[in-house]
Chain A
Amino acid sequence: MARIVHYLNQFFIGAGGEDAAASPPASQPGPVGPGRRLAQLLGDEHEIVATVSCGDDDAAGRPEAIAEIVALVQEAQPDLVVAGPAFTSGRYGLACARVAAAAKAAGLDAVAAMHPDNPGIDEAGAAPVVASGEAARLMGPALDTLSAAVKKILAGEALTDADGLVGLAPRLPRMADRSAAERAVDLALARLAGDREATEVPLPRFDKVTPAPPVEDLARATVAIVTEGALVPDDNPGALESARATKWLRYSLAGRDELKPGEWRSVHGGFSTVWANADPHRILPLDAARQLERDGAIGHLHEEYLVTAGNGTSVANARRFGVEWAADLRHSGARAAILTAT
């Protein structure tokens, strides 16, 4: 009999919604919530021995959270970890994917379930992800897919598209026989001969972001400024990259009313930073934000700003930054953010 640990967020263990999103990692014996149905579907051959949970903000926003979750998972000595389904929930999907990836890296079998558009897909590492629908009303079919995938993995078989396996097949580098220019000529002639399908690059699918509802009482809300304009203290103490950023940083605005030239610098590699450095407010409008704060238009300006460099950044990293920023800002009480872009 295989031992299984199920990972869920605060909502699906019944601890609460956004009010409980900061709750730390926890473990309880046996299946909980959707885990009960999953246990039924898995039958007598397999047992969900424990359910490990964590609040979405904590799991996606605190760097140590995933390691703590995996430590709790390992205490139950499972053969396999199953995470989700997370549907289209970004923070939950990221957590499920990271837990599955870390469990896989620790030598356990693992599988996560989420909607194919969930940004977590990019973070699952070597762990497989199977598809779910968009929202919890589709829990039934999601658990059917997930339980079948668990059985197949425990039987030692690899998942395929037919099992609901999602995630893009990687596009790998290779050397062609001929130059790009010569291949382009071939493609032009094929296209003129009526072949409308020929291409070396499939058209990418892009996410559509649904805007959050308006902030109800802006005069009482804490508002953050975040930027991809790579504005950092002049000596760039966090070594933010000028292109292809792999990280984001935070710097305090506490007690500051302005950003003096010479003390701050944009390290962005994608535009001329002369004018940004001459007046850092062009990237991070602290002066205007403090004025809005004084005028009572906003409650408070968040005490720190979050920053990265948006220049050649991979979509996977950009998505991750977005989810982490959302979790971090929620965690610290900000209810709105102004993203200044360059």
Chain B
Amino acid sequence: MRAVHRVQSVGMGEATTWRDGALTVSAEEAQALVSAPCLADVRVSWASPGDSVRIVKVLDVVEPRTKGPGGAGVFPGWIDGAPADGPTHVLRTAAVVVAGYLPRAQEAVIDMSGPAAELSPFGGTHNLVIEFTPGPGADWADVDDALRRGSLALAARLAEAALDAPPDSEESLADPGPVDGLPRIGAVTNLQTQGLFKDVFVRGESFNGRAPALIDPAEIDDGAVVSGQYGHPSLRNPTWVHQNHPVANALRARHGRDLAFAGVVLAPEPVSASEKARISAEAARLCADAGFDAVILTKEGGGNADADVALKMDALEDMGIAAIGLFAEMAGPDGTGPPIVVAPERATAMISTGNYDTRLDLPEMERALGGEELALLGVPATSAMQLPTAVILASLSPLGWGRLTCAQDG
């Protein structure tokens, strides 16, 4: 069960409070939650939908959620909250955004207004943006870890403000399970687990080198999957997207009606071709053992991650299980190139989540957060610029959030 509190307005104030849709944050408390020995300075500010703001160098985004005080029952392995039952309180349309330079992070952009705003989940959320300055000589891995712990703790703290308030709505979530006479459809969620700054964590531990595994989707809702993956901006799944797992939610919405939601399998995305093949075979067997009739597969990452979807699709089809893969196209700026880097050989059912190379003309902004420059172009972050969709955070929706697609007839 989710208790959903809809955020109508945001601001800074003396204390962190929730009143009738208004979220007020104590900057001092927020900074204290994120501060760490490896961080010289932490700053927080709000960016809301419609604002003339561009957020650059975005790392991760987290939705405020908690089950109780002190982060009880959420983000297991990251904050010291006790295990807890009961509803998860969600601040819908709010997000904690971490933005700033980390090595290996590919520069991600969120525009709060203009044509890119509707392409990212975070053009439509009230974003509490955390900026930071590393301490002298700080280890980048420590900086990354501190930012992750801090942003998760802050997200839980924001949700805690609404614990005693009546929710705007309550959402009952279907658990996976069989329904007589209905096809069982499950999800395989590939996580890009390729080392430091390109890793995804499950229950607080790196999923790099782990075997494919079934997971209770309610655990994912409560923050069991946390992203530390800062590769291709449009092709990442920030923590917020896992918390709102679009495929699981789409299956839940129709559970008992025309399908049975059969469950979620998490799979790592290793680097080598042979490991990709091995993990794909294991994941397919797990789906077969779990009795899936059809599987919706998603990826994150660039061209090499197409193989992680394509190999699993073929392995599933070989077992007689229908496989549907979500792919972003890399078809060149004019859309005439081959759309997929590694396509399945036997499976054929694919969803297009848009073209990586489509150019966007973005307007000048009044304010920039996350950095003063867009390093990719070497221009002020506030300036009008043309960027490929590839740079807009989560815009190509590897986990299925967005509506962007491509078609021959336009």
Contacts and interface: CB of A to CB of B under 8 A. Distances in A.
B302 A172 contact: no
Interface stretch (A16-24, A45-53, A297-305, A310-318): A310-318
A292 to B, nearest CB: 28
A191 B325 CA distance: 12
A247 to B, nearest CB: 14
A312 B330 contact: yes
Nearest to B389: A173
Specify the main secondary structure of chain A where it touches its partner. Answer: loop
A173 B335 contact: yes
A181 B121 CA distance: 14
B302 to A, nearest CB: 5
Given A201-B339, A312-B356, A170 B334 contact: yes
B340 A204 contact: yes
B332 A179 contact: no
B249 interface: yes
A205 B345 CA distance: 11
B401 interface: yes
Most chain-A CB neighbours within 10 Å: which of B249, B334, B337? B337
B286 interface: no
Interface stretch (A76-84, A192-200, A280-288): A192-200
Most chain-B CB neighbours within 10 Å: which of A171, A182, A185, A197? A171
Interface stretch (B84-92, B146-154, B402-410): B402-410
B7 interface: no
B43 interface: no
B322 interface: yes
Given A171-B329, A176-B405, A184-B247, A315 B337 contact: yes
Given A171-B407, A173-B355, A174-B410, A269 B324 contact: no
A241 B296 CA distance: 34
Interface of A: 122, 167-185, 187-189, 191-192, 196-206, 239, 241-244, 269-273, 311-312, 314-317
A179 B246 contact: yes
Contact of B293 (A168, A179, A192, A196): A192
A185 B338 contact: no
Interface in B8-54: none
A200 B302 contact: no
A172 B106 contact: no
B250 A179 contact: yes
Contacts, number: 201
Contacts of A206: 338
Given A187-B324, A188-B296, A192-B322, A181 B249 contact: yes
Interface string B336-349: 11111001000011
A181 B406 contact: no
A307 to B, nearest CB: 19
A204 B324 contact: no
A184 B336 contact: no
Contacts of A180: 246, 326, 351-353, 397, 400-405
Interface stretch (B68-76, B206-214, B215-223, B251-259): B251-259
Nearest to B400: A181
A197 to B, nearest CB: 8
Nearest to B348: A199
B322 A316 contact: no
B254 A200 contact: no
Given A179-B402, A180-B401, A187-B324, A243 B106 contact: yes
A204 B330 contact: no
B357 A244 contact: yes
A272 B329 contact: no
B388 to A, nearest CB: 6
B278 interface: no
Given A173-B355, A185-B247, A243-B106, 8 more contacts: A122-B337, A188-B295, A191-B324, A201-B329, A243-B302, A244-B357, A244-B390, A272-B197
A171 B327 CA distance: 14
7 contacts: A173-B389, A173-B405, A180-B397, A182-B250, A191-B324, A201-B339, A312-B330
B322 to A, nearest CB: 4
